Structure 1
Amino acid sequence: MCVGRACLHRSAKTLSTGDLLTRIPDAPMVSVVMAVRNGQAYLRDAMDSILSQTLADFELIVVDDGSTDRTPDILEDYARRDCRVRVLSQAPQGLSEALNRAISAARGKYIARMDADDVALRERLARQVAFMETHPDVGLLGTAVCEVDPDGRPRAVFTMPGNDEQLRRALIKFNPFFHSSVMIRRSVLEQVGLYSEEMRWAEDYDLWMRLARHTRLANLQEVLLKRRTEYGGSHSVRHEREQVRHALAIRWRAIRMGMYPITALPYLIRPVLMLVLPASLRRSLRSWQRRRGRIVRT
């Protein structure tokens, strides 16, 4: 099934019914969306892992967000060799803007996220589609992941809370989804809109919280993604502060809108306390929080 490569020259923050639900007859089951900037080191691994999926009914939409390395050449090569690959290019704008452009161009029933330095296991799309097809009330589905170092060596396996009740309890405390593992039901995005372009350091957490108002949530307990992680803390203090500020705003909005009782207010205090802690202690607490509520195997 060949897919056209026409670029869509807009980045919508919200989607209309026409934008989201109009599908041509041969539209794929899944649209895999990826944003990349200067990702030449691992991009081929990521794309190969998608193109070798056991479920073949998909399109892979990659937005090149202003790369200055060999990323454009790599993308052009893949698009030339496999008509399921669609490449959109833009000046540097950021992750939210790039993903919104990819989703706006997507035609699939389901939207699957993928990062340009991760590796999807061959059954990933098939397993997620099978679950979504048999659970029509679920609109957001993640998976367990194996975290690997930059060289691909396994570090640990993380399994998030699995069912809707567990995930709702967790969502006010921390982000219980691995962003690059999720699959979203396209029709639900019509109700909530796209990634916020204001919540740059918590765009995924913000979207999950908005989705939770309209659909049920789930995480597969099976490892279906290798997530590449560089430890040691590469974010600046300013970025950490922005991330905490955005998390605070997201949680306060959820309480204010009645998603959680007033007794959940202590979960707003935690992000504020994080701002005044030394960086080394913040990293230790963040590592502990990443493991809280998860089954961890090292």
Structure 2
Amino acid sequence: MNRNNIILLIPHYKNIDGLYASLSSIDKNENLDVLIVDDGSNLDIDETKIRASFIGNGVVFFEYLKENSGIEIALNKGLNFSTKNKYKYTARLDCGDICVKDRFKIQETYLELHQDISLVGTNVDFLDTKGNLLYTLNVPEKDKQIRKKMFINAMHIHPTIMFRNSMLEITGLYPVDYKAAEDYAFFFNVINKCKVANINQVLVRCEINPNGISTLQRKKQAENRIKLILKNFYVGFYPIYGLFRSILLYIVPLKILIKLKSVLKK
């Protein structure tokens, strides 16, 4: 069915404008297919118009959930599609996030050259909803540092990742019992069984949306992050500091945290 090695998985829920922006940011020289999983939006989605916004070398597929079931369910539906159709790699992007030129080519080349790496992410520019740069996040490149610092925060930014689908045979799909922190749970499963990395380049520009999951479910997210840290806990600096930090995130308002990050990154 597929004629590309990569399929880009984009979950969608009532954000058509963001979907257009994300698809149109993919360069015409990129070789990949796209799967959009609609999480029960109940909208009249114009598939023809959406496909027209994608100028890369590939096909756009659509899958629909009958009702709004949560991003982890939508992602797992996408992974089942990806593995069933024998794609070698799955990449991620969220509606509203923008790809830098050659993003997928760079990541695919990296994974082809580093056969010991199962998952790779990138650095990120974080923007507000008007496209203004808030701050740039540089994540650690090497597996060892990623493992240590995972207790502080996810060391892969979810919309930047690309991974080998063969990895899923040992890591499993996205856990469904950590609402709003499914990516953090998934990353812990991955680093516990596979070697990972990040590319020291900004290849994605992510929008901080006040209506996004991380904002609307922030307390639930922080609560589940605390559970995941405790599940993977050992006595050491990073787990202890990470636990304290997650408790702080649970308490401090998001606007204050974004402002603080912006100041510290300048």
2:68 maps to which residue? 92
User: What is the DSSP-based 3-state SS (H/G/I as helix, E as strand, rest coil) of the residue aligned with 1:122?
Assistant: coil
Alpha carbons of structure 1 residues 220 and 66: separation in structure 2 relative to 1, 3 Å: same
Is 1:284 aligned with 2:256? yes
Unaligned segments of structure 1, at least 5 residues: 4-25
User: What is the DSSP-based 3-state SS (H/G/I as helix, E as strand, rest coil) of the residue aligned with 2:155?
Assistant: coil
CA contact (8 A) 2:120 2:161 kept: yes
Is 1:38 aligned with 2:14? yes
For each residue in 1:65-88, what CA deviation from the matched residue of structure 2 results, as whole angstroms up to 9, or x when unmatched?
A: 122445x11x34334897610001
CA contact (8 A) 2:127 2:134 kept: yes
TM-score (norm 1): 0.77
2:205 maps to which residue? 226
Name the Cα RMSD after superposition: 2.7
C-alpha distance in 2 between matches for 1:209 and 1:286? 25
Is 1:153 aligned with 2:140? no
Is 1:66 aligned with 2:44? no
1:267 positional shift? 3.2
1:181 maps to which residue? 160
Q: What amino acid is the match of 2:34?
A: L
Deviates more, 1:120-129 or 1:149-158: 149-158
1:122 positional shift? 2.2
Of residues 247, 251, 264, the one that matches 2:229 is 251
1:16 maps to which residue? none
Is 1:235 aligned with 2:215? yes
Aligned ranges for residues 1-298 of structure 1 at < 5 Å? 3=1, 27-50=3-26, 52-56=27-31, 58-69=32-43, 72-73=45-46, 75-79=47-51, 84-90=59-65, 91-106=67-82, 107-230=86-209, 235-236=215-216, 239-255=217-233, 260-261=234-235, 264-275=239-250, 277=251, 279-280=252-253, 283-285=255-257, 288=260, 296=265
The number of equivalent residue pairs is: 257
CA contact (8 A) 2:134 2:262 kept: no
C-alpha distance in 1 between matches for 2:107 and 2:52? 28
1:128 positional shift? 0.3
Q: What amino acid is the match of 2:14?
A: N
1:252 positional shift? 1.5
For each residue in 1:227-260, what CA deviation from the matched residue of structure 2 results, as whole angstroms up to 9, or x when unmatched?
A: 1113699835xx33321221111111212xxxx4
C-alpha distance in 1 between matches for 2:195 and 2:157? 17
1:173 positional shift? 1.4
Alpha carbons of structure 1 residues 266 and 152: separation in structure 2 relative to 1, 3 Å: closer
C-alpha distance in 2 between matches for 1:60 and 1:76? 14
C-alpha distance in 2 between matches for 1:29 and 1:113? 14
Deviates more, 1:152-161 or 1:245-254: 152-161
User: What is the DSSP-based 3-state SS (H/G/I as helix, E as strand, rest coil) of the residue aligned with 2:25?
Assistant: helix
User: What is the DSSP-based 3-state SS (H/G/I as helix, E as strand, rest coil) of the residue aligned with 1:235?
Assistant: helix
C-alpha distance in 2 between matches for 1:155 and 1:235? 16
Runs of 4+ in 1 over 2 A off after TM superposition: 52-55, 75-83, 151-157, 230-236, 260-275, 282-292
Q: What amino acid is the match of 2:15?
A: G
CA contact (8 A) 1:53 1:121 kept: no
Deviates more, 1:242-251 or 1:148-157: 148-157
CA contact (8 A) 2:6 2:90 kept: yes
For each residue in 1:113-154, what CA deviation from the matched residue of structure 2 results, as whole angstroms up to 9, or x when unmatched?
A: 011111111210000001111111111111111222213233
C-alpha distance in 2 between matches for 1:141 and 1:174? 16
Q: What amino acid is the match of 1:198?
A: D
Alpha carbons of structure 1 residues 78 and 244: separation in structure 2 relative to 1, 3 Å: closer
Percent sequence identity over aligned pairs: 23
C-alpha distance in 1 between matches for 2:111 and 2:146? 17
